[in-house]
Amino acid sequence: MSADEPYVPTAVDISTTGSLCMYFAGNAAAKWQSIPSSGILEWLSKYYLTTDTPSPADILAETGWSEDFYMTFEAMMGNISDIAPVYADILTLAPHPKVRTFIIPVFAAFTAISTIVLALRIWSRISIAGKLQAFDWATLFAYMVIVAWGGLAVHESTAVGGWGFYCDQTFEQAHAYERAWGILTFTYPIAVLTIKVSLLLFYHQLSAWRPLRISVYVTGFICFANAMCGVFLWVYQCTTPNLWDHMVDLSNNMSCPLDQMTVLMAVGGVGIFTDVVIWLIPIPMVWQLQLNTRERVLAVCTFGVGLVACVGSVMRLVAIRRFLYYGNEDGNDSRDPINAWAVVEMNLALICACVPALRALVVKHVPRIISRTSEGTDVSKGSKGSSSYKGHGKPSIVSEEEGNTNASELGDYPRNSNTEKPEPNVKVWSPITNYKGEEYSRMQD
């Protein structure tokens, strides 16, 4: 670069400048922590450039630094008298982007949609199944966790004020931001786990088919183990768990043997794998039921729609690769894209988990939308159809008599035997007739 061309700070220059602002302000007196942290860097630069005989005592008196910090910093980084003027100049050339938060509308929109969908699911379960079961309560709990997680993500996005560059933020804002980010990151695997548990509970109660239940157990164990790894690897990636309270502590002797990027990518990768597996678990069972091609395809689509949620998981990992570390080339330290995609991922998973119940609701209340042919669907169900089921042979839907009223969420699909007839006073519901007991028998006659 020629002498006439203006100097353009590199990504390393921007990152280092931001770090200096945080270290100088974070170890200073309270007055420096409540104003933009660039103020202390600019004061130091001006002091060294205008003072013939700078005194460490003057520096300590004005900044409020401890003598230990002053000596430790110079031993590690070099003379502050040389560093401060250089990076104060870079500060004038570095970009100063404003925070363009978009997570608030994303959170509001998806929370509203999830709330409506979940309410419809509860209506479906109560009106068709007559009660809420364990997996329904698990879904409600997952919804509350997702809303709480999204609310914390909104708080994190606004904690930094209006500016995205560390030097433009106060240390108090940066500290609140890092604390919220740390809590969000190690609670993310738990929030995702709650959704997966609700789905696995549903699958477990849907059928006693042995391959399906083994798949549920194995997948559940992998999901739980991956979530615990995500929590503990993040919390204990460094020798000090609460990183946000030691982000500028030079005397802590903290070491971080684990790389943040590696931890998040590994846990996220396993999470995507389990996402795909969970949405595919019921497909083999549905495919082997006695259905015509049209019904079989509809059933597969009902469960397979959950794969849409995997898009959010993938995009979150892409955002992590780009926005995890501060000091990006545009100087913006916002991690909003990471959290926004996490909100999208969680809510899509919750919405997709409600699709089977919504389909049953539509079939019951608006049967013309999903019409059925009597030739392809035998609505008769034997009350003993699966009471003697031992977990072998072909898949079947667990009967209502056994306390599992989940068949309707598959569209009230038939059992393996077409010869089974409903016994008197056994409730049988059909999306075509909606008749029960004796009324249903008269229709059959």
Residues 155-187: tens digit of each pLDDT:
988 888 888 888 999 999 989 988 998 999 999
**Residue 54 vs residues 23, 47, 68: alpha-carbon distances, Å:** 21, 8, 18
Sites in the chain below the pLDDT cut of 70:
1-4, 289-296, 298-306, 326-334, 365-445
The DSSP letter of residue 417 is -
pLDDT of residue 435: 34
* Distances from the Cα of 124 to the Cα of 53, 88, 129, 167, 369, angstroms: 79, 63, 8, 53, 16
Give me the phi and psi of 328, to 5 degrees please. Answer: -65, 170
* Residue 277 structure tokens: 């597996």
Asked if 106 and 343 touch (Cβ cutoff 8 Å), the reply is: yes
- The two structure tokens encoding residue 71: 């000596």
Q: What is the pLDDT of residue 89?
A: 93
Nearest to 337 by CA among 351, 316, 354, 352: 316
Contact 361, 127 (CB under 8 A): yes
* Sign for the pseudo-dihedral over CA of 329, 333, 336, 338: positive
Position 416 scores a pLDDT of: 39
């005592």: which residue's tokens?
57
Q: Which residue has the tokens 């959010």?
A: 312
Q: How far apart are CA 263 and CA 302, in angstroms?
A: 33
Share of the chain above pLDDT 70, in %: 74
Check: CB of residue 396 under 8 Å from CB of residue 207: yes
Domain ranges of the chain: 11-93, 103-365
* Burial readout 127-137 (b: 16 or more C-beta within 10 A, e: otherwise): ebbeeebebbe
Phi and psi torsions of 65, nearest 5°: -65, 155
